[in-house]
């Protein structure tokens, strides 16, 4: 089904609501006007009955019946509709009957049958008349006074008003709908402009930003949100470009080295077997390094794509730590460093991927060993408190300058490129450790002082049911 534009739908909804409102309003106004007309007429009828009562109160004892009739006749010609009235006594005898009512033999109720005043509209000789009948008592005698007024003018006025409304409502509705459509189009114009401007921004000019209208409304928020999105996109594209450049550089160097070593070995044919062996050794070492870098790169790429899934389960952080400490000890021995480990005897249960966590710990221990000069010290600690297992690796190594600290978890970042490379580092270890820790809903932090040493700490939440030992 074809979707209409938002401007059209807004205008359509507005018209529907407006039409409903207008219909209710018109009906209310028409009924209100009709009620007001009836009210005015009924008030006037009541006043006339009141006039008759006052007249009879004053005159009935002084005048004879024929004189009263004459008086009524005289008065009846005064005032609008005044000639439409009749009065009867308790026996139903006419005290007075005006000519139009008499000639049409309009009935009247006796005072005894009239409990309360009545108001009715009926047709008399083809003309609509409104009758008001009330029982009055004069000189102790009950009478029924009935007055009437012609309604055709009132009906004509009510009808004319109705026609005006019926004609005006569609005109108003059309005008309001057209206005509504125009306003909604105008209100949405800036959105079109924003989308056109957004379309102009592509990967080539991601640094461009949309103009932010200072309206303080949704449009301003929309453009600000889009601009923030572009900033995030720009940053991640920049990171991607940097990553690709670094990765290719990192791979080109060892491959070039392997190639040169092989070329030199092949070209100088007069070499001894030992020299070939040495060349092959170099090639092997570089290939191992390269495949490590490729492994790390692949892992990070899979992690970025969300394809590297950790297989987490209930594991004892102590046994992972012991395995890592064992390898740490070997590393430390090779580098002539003192190594110590403090791991609790009781199990520390965490929900983790044991292999990944061991890899993260080894990255930290490897760094500590790598960046600590001979006869230095490396310490590994595991503790559990506040719902977290805390692994920390402390060294007395070269430390990290405060300006470098914010970068150490960046990919390919190394404080001293030449030095860490000579030790086989590509600058990916900490990025991997950070990803592994965060995938365990944990965090990794560092405290370091240049020349004195560093403490890397990883916090991973304890398994919820196992906050107290032993885990049940």
Ligand X SMILES: Nc1ncnc2c1ncn2[C@@H]1O[C@H](COP(=O)(O)OP(=O)(O)OP(=O)(O)O)[C@@H](O)[C@H]1O
* Chain contacts with Mg ion (rule: CB under 5 A): 367, 429
Considering beta carbons, is residue 106 or 430 the nearer one to ligand X? Answer: 430
Considering beta carbons, is residue 135 or 379 the nearer one to ligand X? Answer: 379
Out of 111, 328, 425, 442, point to the residue binding ligand X (CB under 6 A). 425
State in angstroms the smallest separation of the CB of 453 from ligand X: 7
State in angstroms the smallest separation of the CB of 447 from Mg ion: 17
Name the 3-class secondary structure at 150.
Answer: strand
Considering beta carbons, is residue 367 or 392 the nearer one to Mg ion? Answer: 367
State in angstroms the smallest separation of the CB of 397 from ligand X: 5
State in angstroms the smallest separation of the CB of 423 from Mg ion: 9
Q: Which of the stretches 162-170, 188-196, 270-278, 422-430 binds ligand X when contact is defined by CB under 6 A?
A: 422-430
State in angstroms the smallest separation of the CB of 232 from ligand X: 24
Name the 3-class secondary structure at 337.
Answer: coil
State in angstroms the smallest separation of the CB of 365 from ligand X: 9
Cα separation, 106 vs 73, whole angstroms: 18
Cα separation, 472 vs 456, whole angstroms: 31
Widest CA span in the chain: 165
Under the binding rule (CB under 6 A), the answer on residue 436 touching ligand X is no
Out of 420, 436, 444, 459, point to the residue binding ligand X (CB under 6 A). 420
Name which of ligand X, Mg ion, none residue 454 binds, using a CB cut-off of 5 to 8 Å depending on partner kind. ligand X
Name the 3-class secondary structure at 237.
Answer: helix
At a CB cut-off of 8 Å and minimum separation 6, what does 338 contact? 332, 375, 376, 377, 378
Out of 343, 430, 460, 466, point to the residue binding ligand X (CB under 6 A). 430
Name the 3-class secondary structure at 442.
Answer: coil
Out of 147, 158, 332, 428, point to the residue binding ligand X (CB under 6 A). 428
Considering beta carbons, is residue 367 or 448 the nearer one to Mg ion? Answer: 367
Considering beta carbons, is residue 399 or 429 the nearer one to Mg ion? Answer: 429
Under the binding rule (CB under 6 A), the answer on residue 454 touching ligand X is yes
Considering beta carbons, is residue 111 or 425 the nearer one to ligand X? Answer: 425
The answer to whether 363 touches 433, Cβ cutoff 8 Å, is yes
Q: How many residues does the chain have?
A: 472
* Residue sitting closest to Mg ion (CB): 429
Considering beta carbons, is residue 303 or 398 the nearer one to ligand X? Answer: 398
Parallel, antiparallel, or unpaired for β 377-385 and 338-342?
parallel
Name which of ligand X, Mg ion, none residue 397 binds, using a CB cut-off of 5 to 8 Å depending on partner kind. ligand X
Cα separation, 372 vs 338, whole angstroms: 10
How many C-beta neighbours within 10 Å does residue 429 have? Answer: 22
State in angstroms the smallest separation of the CB of 289 from ligand X: 9
Handedness of CA 16, 18, 21, 27 (dihedral sign): negative
Cα separation, 276 vs 269, whole angstroms: 10
Considering beta carbons, is residue 106 or 444 the nearer one to ligand X? Answer: 444
Parallel, antiparallel, or unpaired for β 118-124 and 313-316?
unpaired
**Residue among 146, 138, 143, 156 at smallest CA distance from 83:** 146
State in angstroms the smallest separation of the CB of 244 from ligand X: 17
Residues in region 360-419 near ligand X by CB under 6 A: 363, 367-368, 371, 395, 397-400, 408, 413-416
Under the binding rule (CB under 6 A), the answer on residue 356 touching ligand X is no
At a CB cut-off of 8 Å and minimum separation 6, what does 8 contact? 181
* Residue sitting closest to ligand X (CB): 429
Cα separation, 201 vs 270, whole angstroms: 62
State in angstroms the smallest separation of the CB of 420 from ligand X: 4
State in angstroms the smallest separation of the CB of 375 from ligand X: 16
The answer to whether 101 touches 127, Cβ cutoff 8 Å, is no
**Residue among 296, 331, 298 at smallest CA distance from 430:** 296
Residues in region 59-88 near ligand X by CB under 6 A: none
H-helix or E-strand spanning residue 457: strand 453-461
Considering beta carbons, is residue 180 or 429 the nearer one to Mg ion? Answer: 429
Task: Cite the beta strand spans of 44-84 per DSSP E.
Answer: none
Give the angle 362-368-373 at the CA atoms, nearest 5°: 140
Considering beta carbons, is residue 121 or 423 the nearer one to Mg ion? Answer: 423
Cα separation, 395 vs 369, whole angstroms: 8
Name which of ligand X, Mg ion, none residue 352 binds, using a CB cut-off of 5 to 8 Å depending on partner kind. none
The residues that touch ligand X, with contacts defined as CB under 6 A, are 363, 367-368, 371, 395, 397-400, 408, 413-416, 420, 424-431, 454
């Amino acid at each position: 089904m074809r979707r209409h534009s938002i401007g059209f739908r807004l205008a359509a909804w507005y018209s529907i609501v407006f039409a409903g409102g207008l219909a209710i309003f018109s009906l209310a106004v028409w009924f209100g006007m009709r009620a007001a007309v009836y009210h005015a007429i009924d008030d006037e009828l009541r006043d006339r009955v009141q006039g008759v009562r006052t007249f009879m109160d004053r005159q009935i004892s002084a005048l004879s019946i024929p004189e009263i009739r004459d008086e009524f006749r005289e008065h009846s010609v005064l005032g609008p509709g005044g000639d439409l009235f009749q009065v009867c006594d308790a026996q139903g005898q006419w005290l007075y009957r005006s000519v139009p009512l008499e000639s049409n033999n309009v009935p009247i109720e006796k005072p005894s049958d009239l409990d309360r005043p009545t108001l009715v509209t009926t047709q008399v000789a083809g003309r609509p008349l409104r009758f008001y009948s009330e029982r009055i008592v004069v000189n102790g005698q009950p009478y029924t006074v009935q007055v009437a007024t012609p309604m055709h003018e009132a009906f004509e006025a009510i009808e004319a008003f109705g026609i005006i409304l019926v004609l005006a409502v569609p005109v108003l509705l059309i005008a309001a709908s057209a206005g509504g459509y125009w306003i909604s189009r105008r209100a949405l114009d800036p959105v079109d402009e924003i989308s056109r401007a957004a379309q102009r921004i592509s990967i080539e000019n991601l640094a461009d930003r949309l103009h932010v209208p200072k309206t303080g409304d949704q449009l301003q928020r929309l453009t600000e949100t889009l601009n923030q999105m572009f900033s995030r996109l720009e940053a991640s594209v920049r990171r991607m470009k940097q990553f690709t450049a670094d990765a290719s550089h990192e791979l080109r160097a060892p491959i070039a080295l392997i190639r040169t070593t092989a070329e030199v070995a092949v070209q100088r044919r007069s070499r001894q077997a030992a020299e070939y062996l040495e060349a092959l050794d170099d090639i092997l070492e570089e290939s191992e390094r390269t495949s490590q870098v490729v492994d790390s790169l692949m892992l990070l790429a899979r992690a970025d794509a969300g394809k590297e899934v950790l297989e987490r389960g209930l594991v004892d952080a102590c046994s992972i730590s012991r395995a890592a400490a064992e390898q740490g000890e070997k590393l430390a021995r090779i580098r002539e460093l003192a190594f110590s480990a403090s791991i609790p005897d009781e199990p520390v249960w965490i929900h983790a991927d044991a292999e990944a966590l061991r890899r993260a710990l080894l990255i930290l221990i490897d760094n500590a060993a790598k960046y600590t000069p001979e006869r230095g010290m490396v310490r590994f600690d595991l503790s559990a408190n506040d719902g977290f297992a805390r692994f920390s690796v402390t060294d007395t190594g070269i430390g990290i300058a405060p300006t470098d600290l914010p970068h150490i978890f960046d990919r390919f970042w190394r404080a001293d490129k030449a030095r860490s490379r000579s030790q086989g580092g590509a600058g990916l270890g900490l990025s991997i450790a950070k990803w592994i820790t965060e995938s365990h809903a944990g965090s990794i932090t560092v405290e370091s002082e240049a020349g004195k040493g560093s403490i890397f700490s990883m916090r991973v939440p304890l398994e919820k049911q196992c906050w107290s030992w032993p885990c049940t």
